[in-house]
Amino acid sequence: MYFGRNRNRFFREMIFASLIVLHFIRGNAQVQTLPQDTTIVLSPRMLTANAIALGNVNGWIFKEGNNLAWAQKEIDVSGWKRMKPSQLSEKMVDKSGKLEGWFRIRILLDTAFGNTPLDFFMNAWAASEAYVDGKLLYTFGNTGANGQPFTEYNPTYKLPIALNIEKGNQHILAIHLVDFLSPLPPYNLKSKDQNRISSFISITTPAFKKDFLDFRLKARSYRTVWLTANVILCVLFWLLVFLNRTEKNLLLIALSTTISTAAIYCDQTIPTPGISYAYYAFLYLIWAILVAVSGVVSLLLILRVFNRRISALFKTSLCLILVADIGLIFLDSPYPLIFLVLLVVFNYIYYVATSWKGLKGAQWAVTAGILLSFSFGLSLAITGTIVQRFLPVMLVLFTGIFLSFPLSLVVYVTMRFKEIMNEVRDHAKQVVQLSEEKKQQALNQQKVLQEEVDRQTAELRNTLENLKSTQAQLIQSEKMASLGELTAGIAHEIQNPLNFVNNFSEVSSELLDEMKNELATGNAQQAKTIAEDVKQNLEKIIHHGKRADGIVKGMLMHSRASTSQREPTDINSVADEYLRLSYHGLRAKDKTFNAKFETHFDPTIEKINVIPQDIGRVLLNLFTNAFYSVTKKNKQHPEDYEPCVSVTTKRLKDRVEIRVKDNGMGIPQKVMDKIFQPFFTTKPTGEGTGLGLSLSYDIIAKGHGGELKAETKEGEFAEFIILLPIT
């Protein structure tokens, strides 16, 4: 249903752009076939559409090549051959695709023309020079004469030129022609495009100009209307697609309309003024592709609108459309286009007929558009010869063909949106009705749920209280477990000062006995010396007694719950005390255990406000873990390994840093993110609760606003770093 370039008689009868060409061809039927040396008499009775087409007239002779002398009136034509311009063929071109030659014909203008001025009309893309009796009449394009570059002649919108030759006398008309093959399929000679070669040269009357301009003006006006209407519809449909992206039918409608609009634009049956042949041929190639694509997309749209599935018929038609389109591009024949159009029409008729009984609502709009397009197209095909005489009627029929289906899509979209709105309204009513019915159910369920929520809330509160109690018990258990670890170390540490107290007490008792003897003998000076020794012993007894008292108080502070009361604390002293307690505790449990421990204390650290028993628990846990790690490694490397645990303190700008490092087993990297989680432990079952590091982290981070972090290398070392703020 679209225009195209390769239209022969069958299809040209359906499109208005070939009107003049058809008249030219019909006029040729009145020209008699005459011998070569016979003069062709041109009379008014040979006029068709106010023109006499000479491209298919017998009496022409042709010779390939170029010689300016061939334009002269009297030359030897023994080497020339009889051939009409319409018989030019692609086989005659040279290797570069060029065809050059001369046509000659002897004509006589009948005196019956009277004083009617006649014109000369050239209607081919080839460059040519026209000579009458050896004199140059006009140059069409540039054949390359006088060293000028070749320039093709654009016949579109070119009016005839005056033919001022004497009527009643014989004249020699010579045409120098230079033509090239088209650069794009089907690779014809440019002059044979749209069968222009049949009207290659025409003799016209003044009325021809008026008809020619009237035809072009009306055709361009209608074509502008078709394009404008389709472009507006394209914009409308794409806007609807953008606003309703979930509606797939809209996308197909927009694509179908856009492709159809592009095909109408690319059709150059009525060429654009000033267009080059290369662009003209390119537009034809795009048009041929768009025709097939438009057919496929429109069929898909029909399937979607009619709710039909892709069947074997559609797949077969798709393959045949592809074959027909290839033929349309590469074959200089109207039959591929006829076959393609008939194939699409057949599919339209099939889907409309098989869906007829089930059509409803908006589907009828599309059906009406298809039927209207068929009606206009059928009317044009049946009455093509008649309506050519009435240009407005033919243009109206083409308008119906091009706009019926797109406008029906507008109606379809409008009706479809109305249907959707009705569906939404009905659905909304159902929703409201269901909402009212369920409203009471919701109120009843809300009451039941509230009672269930209250019951579960009470259970959750009881569970929370139990969890808090369990947590407190776990924390206390951990404290008691660490106290148990300290017991042996505390006993060892208390034993030392008690031994000193006992020893100095015995020595002091003996010294007092000696002092009595010296006083009895009157040796007062010696008695004073002994008294000084006794006094020193008593001071040492007091010192070690206080030492034992401090150990006991520390044990009591560790065992009881934290008061969360901060007090100035000597970090170095706390670290040293708990390091020794932890070491001696392990020694008491395992007599074979032996490890080196080192202290590196920063003497510039002053007392800082902390909760001493909490800090002691953290340090005790870190020391115990460190000694456990070196003990485990020592059992694996008894010969070349020396276990060592070190504690280092250092004053930073506004914090105190405590580092506890061991050269034991280290911590695997894959569990580094879990070591501070509650109940996570790397120790075997029964050897750890998994709360030590978790409680330590809470004490440092939450209780003191500090940091607790770890650095390790598996198999070599582990180091825990405590950062405590000074203020």
| Residue 553 identity | K
pLDDT band, very low/low/confident/very high, at 213 (cuts 50, 70, 90): confident
Backbone Cα Rg of the chain: 57
Q: What is the pLDDT of residue 497?
A: 67
Task: Assess whether pLDDT exceeds 70 at residue 485.
Answer: no
Tens of pLDDT, residues 375-422:
888 887 777 656 556 677 888 888 888 889 999 999 998 888 888 888
Confidence at residue 254, expressed as pLDDT on a 0 to 100 scale: 93
pLDDT at 33: 37
E strands in 205-289: none
> Whole-model pTM above 0.75?
no
- Sign (positive or negative) of CA dihedral 480, 485, 488, 491: negative
Q: What pLDDT shows up at residue 236?
A: 93
Note every long-range contact of 600-604, with CB atoms under 8 Å and residues 24 or more positions apart, other chains counting: 600/646, 600/647, 600/648, 600/649, 601/572, 601/575, 601/576, 601/648, 601/649, 602/572, 602/649, 602/650, 602/651, 603/572, 604/651
Token pair of 393 as six digits: 């009627």
82: pLDDT confidence band, cut at 50, 70 and 90?
very high
Q: Which residue has the tokens 């049956």?
A: 269
Whether residue 177 contacts residue 139, with contact meaning beta carbons closer than 8 Å, is answered with no
> Do the Cβ atoms of 155 and 191 come closer than 8 Å?
no
Q: Residues of 503-537 as b/e, b for ≥16 C-beta within 10 angstroms?
A: ebeeebeebeeebeebeeeeeeeebeebeeebeeb
pLDDT at 478 over 60: no
In the chain, the amino acid numbered 96 is S
Contacts of 407 (CB under 8 A, 6+ apart): 233, 369
**How far, in Å, are 304, 380, 397 from residue 402 at the CA level?**
22, 13, 9
Residue 91 has pLDDT above 70, yes or no: yes
How confident is the model at residue 4, as a pLDDT?
Answer: 39
Torsion sign over Cα 332, 335, 338, 343: negative
Q: Are 721 and 649 in contact (CB under 8 A)?
A: no
Q: Is 351 exposed, middle or buried (0-12, 13-18, 19+ CB in 10 A)?
A: buried
What pLDDT does residue 507 have?
A: 65
Q: What angle, 0 to 180 degrees and rounded to 10, lies between the N-to-C axes of helices 363-382 and 391-520?
A: 150
CB neighbour list of residue 170: distance below 8 Å, 6 or more residues apart: 39, 106, 107, 108
Count Cα neighbours of 132 within 13 Å in the Cβ-side half-sphere. Answer: 15
- Provide the 8-state DSSP code for 700: I
pLDDT one-digit tens code per residue, 162-195: 998 999 999 999 999 999 998 888 888 888 876 6
Residue 60: its pLDDT value, please?
A: 93
Cα distances from 325 to residues 178, 188, 330, 349, 675, in angstroms, run: 31, 18, 9, 21, 73
Residue 704, pLDDT score? 86
Contact predicate 9/29, CB 8 Å:
no
The reported pLDDT for the residue numbered 581 is 79
Is the predicted pLDDT of residue 555 greater than 60, yes or no?
Answer: no
Predicted confidence at residue 489, as pLDDT, reads 54
Distance CA 180, CA 559 (A): 110
Residue 587 has pLDDT above 80, yes or no: no
DSSP for 341-399, please give it.
Answer: HHHHHHHHHHHHHHHGGG--TTHHHHHHHHHHHHHHHHHHHHTHHHHTT-HHHHHHHHH
CB 658 within 8 A of CB 575: yes
The pLDDT assigned to 637 comes to: 74
What's residue 679's pLDDT? 67
Residue 102 sits at φ, ψ, to 5 deg, of -125, 135
At 71, is the pLDDT very low, low, confident or very high (cuts 50, 70, 90)? Answer: very high
pLDDT tens for 32-45 read: 333 445 789 999 99
**C-alpha to C-alpha distance for 625 and 620, rounded to whole angstroms:** 9
Tokens of 592: 């074979």
Give 482's contacts (C-beta < 8 A, 6+ positions apart).
Answer: 558, 617, 620, 621, 624, 692
What are the structural domains of the chain? 9-213 (2.60.120.260), 219-421 (1.20.1070), 568-727 (3.30.565.10)
Tens of pLDDT, residue by residue over 623-634, are 888 888 888 888
Average model confidence (pLDDT) across the chain: 81
Task: Tokens for 640, please give them.
Answer: 């070349």
- Considering only CA atoms, which of 710, 708, 702 is closest in space to residue 722? 708
CA–CA dist 267, 401 (Å, integer): 15
Burial label, 551 (beta-carbon count in 10 A; 0-12, 13-18, 19+):
buried
Choose the weakest-confidence range: 337-351, 365-379, 512-526, 674-688: 674-688
Tens digits of per-residue pLDDT, 600-651? 999 999 888 888 888 888 888 888 888 888 888 888 876 778 899 999 999 9
660-708: pLDDT as tens digits: 999 888 888 888 888 877 766 767 655 555 667 778 888 888 888 899 9
* pLDDT confidence band for 289 (50 / 70 / 90): very high
Q: Is the pLDDT of residue 552 over 70?
A: no
The average pLDDT across 474-500 equals 58
Residue-wise pLDDT tens digits, 418-444: 888 888 888 888 888 887 888 888 788
| Percent of residues, the chain, with pLDDT higher than 70 | 82
